[in-house]
Amino acid sequence: MASALSSLPRPARIAATLVLAGLAGAACEGLGTPLPWMIGPLLVAAAGCVAGLPLEGSLVLRSAGHWAIGTALGLYFTPSVVGVVVRHAAGIVVGIAWALALGLAFGLVLARLHRSLPDLDAATTYFASAIGGASEMAMLAERHGGRVDLVASAHSVRILLVVILIPFGFQALGLRGLDPFVPGPAQVHGAGLMLLIALTCAGSLLLQLLGKPTPWVLGSLAVAATLTASGIELSALPAWMTHLGQVFIGVALGTRFSPAFVRTAPRWLATVAVGTLAMIVLCAGFAWVLARWVGLHPATVMLGTSPGGIAEMCITAKVLQLGVPIVTAFHVTRMAAVVLLAGPLFRWLRRRGWLG
């Protein structure tokens, strides 16, 4: 099968991968797993790539998936919901500080446990442990002389574990629909949908041209949220679009893995995996304390402060109906803070000699 796929042109391999991913998503939906249209494609793509199958993802399709999720999230930000988010601004700021502190602590642990790795330096351990902006952290690590392969692998393992464990854990505990918000537009309108697509794509393209992080999530989110908060409800997004977006994101995550991936610094990957489990537990405890202070359900705060990516955790909140706007606000502000502050904070800590 691997040789047959390898002989196909790239577009055909992408199509074959999507068919396999779609079947995995449908199977997971039939089994009643959480987030079936993302977890199914992610697992089948990761397993296939590690087994040596030439499965293929696409940056264009990943961007399309990010657009769908960003637009769907933005439709939740009605005027009343914006007021709720603003009232919890203090809790969101505390969540940002928690993410920065947790990432720094994890980086110090990685540095201490892996001193024997060749070319391992403070930049590698620091940016590998930062929570948020995986691709941006890899670029910052390269800029500061770190090992990009270790940074990228650490973020891949972290996101994979968080995407799998938290949704399944929430499902096992029956945490669903405890803090629901309803998106503004409820019906799909053809002309309105076309205009919504055009405007959100324009916003995403603008951020991409400006070189901003995850432009297809944040650009579409910003435009859709601005329209909804202003009382302009053009159209709801069809369910099949968000399902397809999850498939694209799942494939993009899964195809990061390869046979060589599992052979690259196995002790490093094992430490990252154990560290991710520890961070999930610590985030659960932090979420319980913060939730009591801000008056939200701990499950919502857990999703907002978990060490996962913005698209994956916000999809989880949307599917499980757990405070989508609050979770989105946590992750958008956290990602912006990490991307903006990670570099300057690293340089400041290194000058003071705290990173070795």
Mean pLDDT by 10 residues, the chain (356 residues): 72 93 96 92 93 90 94 92 91 92 92 80 92 83 88 92 94 82 87 97 96 89 94 93 94 88 83 96 96 93 92 90 92 89 89 78
CATH number of the domain encompassing residue 117: 1.20.1530
Q: How far apart are the C-alpha atoms of 106 and 131, rounded to whole Å? A: 10
Instruction: Write down the pLDDT at residue 290.
Output: 96
CA–chain centroid gap for 124, Å, is 21
Residue 65 lies in a domain: yes
Prediction pTM value: 0.88
pLDDT at 356: 62
Q: Is residue 331 part of a domain?
A: yes
Asked whether residue 343 is domain-assigned, the answer is yes
Q: How many domains does the chain have?
A: 1
Sign of the alpha-carbon torsion through 203, 317, 101, 252:
negative
Give the residue among 73, 67, 76, 70 at the shortest CA–CA distance from 229. 76
Does residue 356 sit within a domain?
Answer: no
pLDDT at 3: 64
Q: Which domain holds residue 227?
A: 2-351
- Could you tell me what percentage of the chain is helix, strand and coil, using 3-state DSSP and rounding each to the nearest 5? 75, 0, 25
**Residue 184, pLDDT score:** 84
Whether 265 is covered by a domain: the verdict is: yes
